């Protein structure tokens, strides 16, 4: 069952009922100011950091679900409603939500009035702009009233929902002309405030929540709206809100537009005030002036669209498969960019207060956006590296606002350092910019203790070889990629966090996954050493990689698949010998991606075992059989009910590892089969089961052991976006940025005839036609560049800024 359709020309998903199986959201903002907005206008806004600079309130896991957002109430002669249906839930004669790239437009119509509510964050602007178009679709003149509504958060979202003894007394606002200013704590140490304006004179306003709602009412029935009369309340403590009241008279067929701006201002310390306790409004008024007219809004929308067209133009496919086209051309790169902006901080499953930026997460996310915005990838790499320690270990997370490592979570996730090599290598392969390696980067964010980024990579690599366990495999530390395989935790305390609680000093538990990752990214490190003339270092690294490959085959292979780990007691995990958790997806993916066991047949066996033991019709589950009880020596993985999350859920993040691994072995049909099982556009028809947005990936789909097999959770912010992007654009479609140029090496379903890709690479545009006359899956028989034959399948960068024709024949 579907709840909307893709509009590929407009790059929108069009939702045609507010009653989607879960709120289907979109993101506004690209730089500093962000908003989350659902198809019923729920959500919130923040400046840079969803925890520390939250502008508007949002109550997670609220009843009803997704209550709270940017609401515009239409009062029509005693009747009142909201165009997004929520929160009033009055029946609409027409409803439509269009989620586009960086904007959302919601239209509702009732009794001859239609309201379209468009929201976006203009480029270079620290505010959401909302354009309301109110139209009289009937045949008689109508007088209606519009009431806006936003509830202010007292900045620190965590404190805002816990410290009521203080916060219910601190709220302050100012109202001047058509602007409501929220200035809580501005009187003391804050130098920022929020404002909410509209581009016409007010007929009233409210800034005190209870005066607007009535003491015991909800957002579905505010007293002010029900009465059609604003109360002109001025908040003093309690809960400040912003509500503008506007009377509109509309002739038949007439439409009027109103522009609201909900923004953020920072003043210099000496410019905070215009009079005693009167805030300096000049910068707010200057911002508001920029969006006084429809022409200004239209121009900003055009700039936003051009921004996105520019980003997406870096990789475009034309194929006969609409679903593939819309994933590759629009939605997957879009999700990658959103994930770049948000990391794991703010979604409808991430509260914006829990997690900062992940060290491993951000490095992997980079894979999905480095070609779109290489300069910002560069900056991100340097930020991440600065939270590393001298021995190569790293803070697992850092805060976006301070860029400092997060002490609560700490360090000790032993895969972390390797992802920095992966991210940096991806950046250099894309851009050819090796100067990044010479950048001076702090350790532990200490500007007095710096080293080159290259040195950071060196300590990353060595952190693995300096921390090997009894079998010569890498020690796992707190955990590796699988944050829930906590082999040194031994937590007995109810509620204790597996992620933050102190671990025992484990020098036994080892990870086959980290071994595979080491062999996978190691060669890039060795290559980088050679690029810097450090041949001895490179040779040494290559020897260590080779050792690790052998060790993995000797101690990390269980006969038919790769083992997962050794626990604290040196016992196997992910082995036939185990009763539960006999086979895990992660080592199969990463080891085969690294080429381990390709020659000896272990890789083929591993993929066969994945297919036989882990595959389902909705994707590949993380492990089998699921853990049915809590294992003290395994930790969080065994806390989830079978079929969910890391305990045998379909983790969409590492399904692409299997896709890529299958392409290493030349299995194009199988790789694409797995791709299309979890790519959201292919799941649109089962949206009632899948429940999350059909235009973005979710982290997890319930596995076969779960009651609701096929149901997804944790949409948007997941490494799934980047890895699926890599799997489809690089491994399957085969366009691979490499140190020496653009490599073309597709691995596709044999029945495909041809497809065309336009790829911008180091300033040139390559139009690549791939023909498959002999219906093979893999193997480049010939390649021409602008008509001339090229010996290998690597196109050396032309670097003339031109458009170049590439013709590839498989065979
Ligand atoms: C989740 C993991 C996540 C970890 C750290 C766990 O509860 O299951 O997916 O990586 O928390 O946030
Ligand atoms: C989500 C976390 O963000 C990521 O770092 C981790 O690798 C996966 N969960 C798997 O546990």
Residue pair 415/423 in contact by the 8 Å Cβ criterion: no
Say what angle helices 374-385 and 359-369 make with each other, to 10 degrees. 170
Catalytic (active site) residue 177:
no
Nearest-angstrom CA–CA distance, 207 and 199: 18
Nearest-angstrom CA–CA distance, 713 and 23: 12
Cis omega (within 30 of 0) on the bond before 625?
yes
Nearest-angstrom CA–CA distance, 29 and 45: 9
499 lines ligand 1 (CB under 6 A): yes
Test site for ligand 2: of 396, 422, 480, 481, most ligand atoms within 8 A of the Cβ = 481
pLDDT for 643 beyond 80: yes
Q: What is the mean pLDDT of residues 747-762?
A: 98
Residue 321 makes CB contacts below 8 A (sequence gap 6+) with none
Nearest-angstrom CA–CA distance, 642 and 479: 20
Nearest-angstrom CA–CA distance, 262 and 71: 12
Q: How many residues does the chain have?
A: 811
Nearest atom within ligand 1 for CA of residue 499: 5
| Furthest-apart CA atoms within the chain: distance in Å | 85
Query: What is the distance in A from the centroid of ligand 2 to the CA of 653?
Result: 9
Query: What are the Cα distances from residue 161, in Å, to 46, 48, 61, 728?
Result: 16, 19, 13, 42
483 lines ligand 1 (CB under 6 A): yes
Query: What is the distance in A from the centroid of ligand 1 to the CA of 64?
Result: 26
Nearest-angstrom CA–CA distance, 704 and 698: 17
Least-confidence region, from 57-66, 403-412, 538-547, 569-578: 403-412
Q: For residue 807, give both structure tokens.
A: 């013709």
335 falls in which pLDDT band (50, 70, 90)? Answer: very high
Query: What is the distance in A from the centroid of ligand 1 to the CA of 27?
Result: 23
Query: What is the distance in A from the centroid of ligand 1 to the CA of 483?
Result: 6
Query: What is the distance in A from the centroid of ligand 2 to the CA of 420?
Result: 16
Residue pair 75/247 in contact by the 8 Å Cβ criterion: no
354 falls in which pLDDT band (50, 70, 90)? Answer: confident
718 lines ligand 1 (CB under 6 A): no
Tally of CB atoms within 10 A around 688:
12
pLDDT tens readout for residues 701-718: 999 999 999 999 999 999
Residue 651 makes CB contacts below 8 A (sequence gap 6+) with 585, 621, 622, 645, 699, 700, 720
350 lines ligand 1 (CB under 6 A): no
Nearest atom within ligand 1 for CA of residue 640: 8
Test site for ligand 1: of 347, 482, 496, 499, most ligand atoms within 8 A of the Cβ = 499
72 falls in which pLDDT band (50, 70, 90)? Answer: very high
Query: What is the distance in A from the centroid of ligand 2 to the CA of 514?
Result: 14
Residue pair 428/408 in contact by the 8 Å Cβ criterion: no
Nearest atom within ligand 1 for CA of residue 355: 12
399 falls in which pLDDT band (50, 70, 90)? Answer: confident
Query: What is the distance in A from the centroid of ligand 2 to the CA of 344?
Result: 10
User: Minimum-distance ligand to the CA of 364?
Assistant: 2
Question: Kind and range of the H or E element at 96?
Answer: strand 94-100
Q: How many CA atoms lie within 13 A of 778 on its CB side?
A: 17
Say what angle helices 535-555 and 453-465 make with each other, to 10 degrees. 30
User: Minimum-distance ligand to the CA of 342?
Assistant: 2
Nearest-angstrom CA–CA distance, 734 and 757: 10
Average pLDDT value over all residues in the chain: 97
CB-count exposure of residue 188 (10 Å: 0-12, 13-18, 19+): exposed
Query: What is the distance in A from the centroid of ligand 2 to the CA of 481?
Result: 6
Pairing of strands 4-7, 240-250: unpaired
Q: For residue 178, give both structure tokens.
A: 């058509």
Test site for ligand 1: of 484, 622, 713, most ligand atoms within 8 A of the Cβ = 484
Torsion of the alpha carbons at 281, 286, 287 and 291, rounded to the nearest 10 = 130
User: Minimum-distance ligand to the CA of 406?
Assistant: 1
Q: What is the mean pLDDT of residues 783-811?
A: 98
Test site for ligand 2: of 345, 483, 655, most ligand atoms within 8 A of the Cβ = 483
415 lines ligand 1 (CB under 6 A): no
User: Minimum-distance ligand to the CA of 351?
Assistant: 1
Q: Percent of the chain at pLDDT above 90?
A: 96
Query: What is the distance in A from the centroid of ligand 1 to the CA of 100?
Result: 30
Nearest-angstrom CA–CA distance, 390 and 393: 7
Task: Report the DSSP beta bridge partners of residue 142.
Answer: 250
Q: How far is CA 516 from the centre of its chain?
A: 25
Nearest-angstrom CA–CA distance, 639 and 290: 53
User: Minimum-distance ligand to the CA of 651?
Assistant: 2
Per DSSP, 468 falls in state B
Nearest atom within ligand 2 for CA of residue 483: 11
Query: What is the distance in A from the centroid of ligand 2 to the CA of 303?
Result: 35
Residue 693 makes CB contacts below 8 A (sequence gap 6+) with 13, 24, 25, 680, 715, 716
pLDDT for 355 beyond 80: no
- Protein residues whose CB sits closer than 6 Å to any atom of ligand 2: 344, 358, 360-361, 481-484, 646
Query: What is the distance in A from the centroid of ligand 2 to the CA of 183?
Result: 38
Question: Kind and range of the H or E element at 28?
Answer: strand 25-28
Task: Report the DSSP beta bridge partners of residue 36.
Answer: 27, 44
- Nearest CA residue ID for atom 2, ligand 1: 483
pLDDT tens readout for residues 111-131: 999 999 999 999 999 999 999
Phi, psi of 97 (to 5 degrees): -125, 125
Beta strands in 199-333 (DSSP E): 204-208, 240-250, 255-266, 273-275, 278-279, 315-318
Q: How far is CA 769 from the centre of its chain?
A: 31
- Nearest CA residue ID for atom 4, ligand 1: 483
Residue 466 is predicted with a pLDDT of 98
Nearest atom within ligand 2 for CA of residue 646: 11
Nearest-angstrom CA–CA distance, 307 and 301: 10
User: Minimum-distance ligand to the CA of 361?
Assistant: 2
401 falls in which pLDDT band (50, 70, 90)? Answer: confident
403 falls in which pLDDT band (50, 70, 90)? Answer: confident
Residue pair 19/97 in contact by the 8 Å Cβ criterion: no
Residue 12 makes CB contacts below 8 A (sequence gap 6+) with 6, 98, 99, 100
The residue annotated as part of the active site, out of 160, 483, 567, 745, is 483
User: Minimum-distance ligand to the CA of 358?
Assistant: 2
- The shares of helix, strand and coil residues in the chain, as percent rounded to the nearest 5, are 30, 30, 40
Nearest atom within ligand 1 for CA of residue 700: 9
Three-state DSSP at 287 gives helix
- Nearest CA residue ID for atom 10, ligand 1: 483
Between CA 309 and CA 316, with CA 313 as vertex, the angle to 5 degrees is 125
Nearest-angstrom CA–CA distance, 423 and 430: 11
pLDDT tens readout for residues 594-608: 999 999 999 999 999
Query: What is the distance in A from the centroid of ligand 1 to the CA of 501?
Result: 14
pLDDT for 400 beyond 90: no
Residue 433 makes CB contacts below 8 A (sequence gap 6+) with 374, 378, 427
Nearest atom within ligand 2 for CA of residue 484: 11
Nearest-angstrom CA–CA distance, 355 and 339: 13
Query: What are the Cα distances from residue 25, in Å, to 35, 90, 262, 366?
Result: 10, 21, 19, 23
Q: What is the mean pLDDT of residues 654-682?
A: 98
14 falls in which pLDDT band (50, 70, 90)? Answer: very high
Residue 188 makes CB contacts below 8 A (sequence gap 6+) with none
Nearest atom within ligand 1 for CA of residue 482: 10
Residue 293 makes CB contacts below 8 A (sequence gap 6+) with 199, 259
Q: What is the mean pLDDT of residues 509-532?
A: 98
Pairing of strands 273-275, 278-279: antiparallel
357 falls in which pLDDT band (50, 70, 90)? Answer: confident
646 lines ligand 1 (CB under 6 A): yes
- Nearest CA residue ID for atom 5, ligand 2: 361
Q: H helices then E strands: how many in the chain?
A: 20, 44
Residue 410 is predicted with a pLDDT of 86
Test site for ligand 2: of 362, 489, 648, 719, most ligand atoms within 8 A of the Cβ = 719
Residue pair 220/89 in contact by the 8 Å Cβ criterion: yes
Residue 788 makes CB contacts below 8 A (sequence gap 6+) with none
Residue 609 is predicted with a pLDDT of 99
Nearest atom within ligand 1 for CA of residue 646: 8
356 falls in which pLDDT band (50, 70, 90)? Answer: confident
Torsion of the alpha carbons at 414, 619, 596 and 462, rounded to the nearest 10 = -10
CA-nearest of 306, 356, 325, 336 to 50 is 356
Residue 776 makes CB contacts below 8 A (sequence gap 6+) with 750, 810, 811
325 lines ligand 1 (CB under 6 A): no
């Amino acid at each position: 069952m579907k709840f909307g359709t893709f509009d590929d020309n407009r790059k929108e998903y069009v939702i045609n009922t507010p009653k989607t199986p879960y709120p289907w959201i979109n993101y506004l903002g690209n730089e500093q100011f962000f908003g989350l907005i659902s198809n019923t206008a729920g959500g919130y806004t923040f400046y840079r950091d969803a925890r520390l600079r939250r502008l508007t309130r949002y109550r997670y896991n609220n009843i009803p679900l997704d209550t709270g957002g940017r609401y515009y109430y239409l009062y029509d002669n005693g009747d009142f409603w909201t165009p997004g249906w929520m929160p009033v839930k009055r029946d609409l004669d027409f409803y439509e939500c269009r989620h586009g790239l960086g904007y959302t437009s919601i239209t509702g119509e009732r009794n001859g009035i239609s309201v379209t509510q468009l929201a976006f964050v203009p480029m270079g602007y620290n505010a959401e702009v909302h354009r309301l178009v109110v139209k009289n679709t009937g045949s008689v003149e109508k007088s209606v009233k519009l009431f806006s509504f936003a509830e202010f958060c007292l900045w620190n979202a965590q404190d805002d929902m816990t410290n009521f003894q203080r916060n219910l007394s601190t709220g302050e606002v100012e109202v001047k002309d058509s602007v409501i200013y929220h200035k809580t704590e501005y009187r003391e140490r804050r130098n920022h405030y929020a404002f909410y304006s509209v581009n016409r004179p007010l007929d009233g306003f409210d800034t005190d929540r209870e005066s607007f709602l009535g003491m015991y009412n909800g957002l579905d029935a505010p007293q002010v709206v029900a009465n059609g009369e604003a109360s002109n309340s001025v908040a003093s403590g309690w809960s400040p809100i912003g509500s503008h009241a506007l009377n509109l008279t509309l002739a038949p067929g007439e439409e009027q537009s109103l522009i609201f701006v909900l923004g953020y201002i920072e003043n210099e310390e000496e410019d905070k005030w215009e009079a005693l306790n009167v805030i300096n409004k000049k910068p707010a008024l200057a911002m508001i002036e920029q969006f006084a007219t429809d022409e200004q809004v239209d121009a900003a929308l055009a700039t936003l669209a051009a921004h996105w067209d520019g980003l997406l133009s870096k990789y475009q496919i034309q194929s006969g498969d609409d679903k593939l086209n819309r994933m590759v051309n629009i939605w997957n790169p879009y999700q990658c960019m959103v994930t770049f902006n948000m990391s794991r901080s703010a979604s409808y499953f991430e509260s914006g207060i829990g997690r900062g930026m992940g060290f491993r997460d951000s490095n992997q996310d980079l894979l999905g956006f480095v070609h779109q915005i290489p300069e910002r990838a560069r900056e991100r790499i340097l930020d991440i590296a600065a939270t590393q320690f001298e021995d190569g270990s790293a803070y697992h997370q850092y805060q976006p606002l301070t860029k400092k490592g997060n002490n609560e979570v700490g360090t000790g996730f032993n895969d972390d350092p390797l992802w920095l090599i992966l991210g940096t290598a991806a950046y250099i392969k894309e851009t050819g910019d090796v100067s990044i390696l010479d950048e001076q980067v702090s350790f532990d964010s200490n500007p007095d203790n710096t080293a080159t980024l290259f040195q950071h990579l060196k300590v990353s690599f060595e952190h693995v070889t300096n921390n090997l366990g009894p079998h010569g495999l890498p020690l796992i530390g707190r955990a590796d990629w699988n944050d829930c395989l906590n082999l040194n935790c031994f937590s007995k305390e109810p509620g204790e966090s597996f992620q933050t609680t102190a671990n025992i000093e484990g020098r036994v538990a080892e990870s086959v996954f980290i071994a595979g990752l080491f062999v996978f990214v190691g060669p890039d490190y060795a290559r980088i050493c050679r690029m810097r003339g450090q041949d001895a270092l490179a040779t040494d690294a290559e020897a260590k990689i080779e050792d690790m490959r052998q060790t993995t085959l000797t101690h990390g292979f269980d006969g038919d698949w790769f083992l997962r780990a050794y626990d604290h007691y040196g016992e196997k995990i992910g082995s036939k010998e185990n009763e539960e958790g006999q086979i895990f997806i992660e080592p199969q993916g990463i080891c085969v991606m690294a080429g381990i066991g390709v020659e000896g047949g272990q890789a083929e066996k591993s993929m066969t075992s994945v297919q036989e033991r882990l595959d389902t019709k909705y994707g590949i589950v993380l492990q089998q059989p699921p853990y049915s009880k809590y294992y003290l020596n395994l930790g969080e993985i065994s806390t989830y009910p079978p079929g969910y999350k890391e305990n045998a859920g379909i983790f969409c993040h590492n399904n692409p590892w299997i896709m890529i691994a299958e392409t290493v072995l030349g299995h194009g049909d199988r790789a694409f089969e797995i791709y299309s099982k979890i790519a959201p556009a292919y799941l649109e028809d089962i949206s009632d089961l899948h429940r999350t947005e059909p235009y973005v990936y979710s982290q997890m789909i319930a596995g076969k052991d779960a009651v609701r097999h096929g149901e997804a959770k944790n949409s948007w912010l997941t490494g799934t976006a980047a890895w699926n992007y890599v799997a489809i654009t690089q491994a399957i479609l085969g366009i691979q940025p490499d140190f020496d140029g653009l490599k073309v090496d597709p691995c596709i379903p044999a029945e495909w005839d041809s497809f065309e890709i336009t790829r911008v690479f180091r300033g040139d545009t390559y139009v690549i036609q791939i023909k498959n006359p002999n219906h093979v899956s893999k193997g480049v028989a010939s390649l021409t560049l602008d008509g001339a034959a090229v010996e290998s399948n690597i196109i050396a960068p032309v670097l003339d800024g031109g458009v170049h024709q590439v013709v590839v024949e498989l065979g």
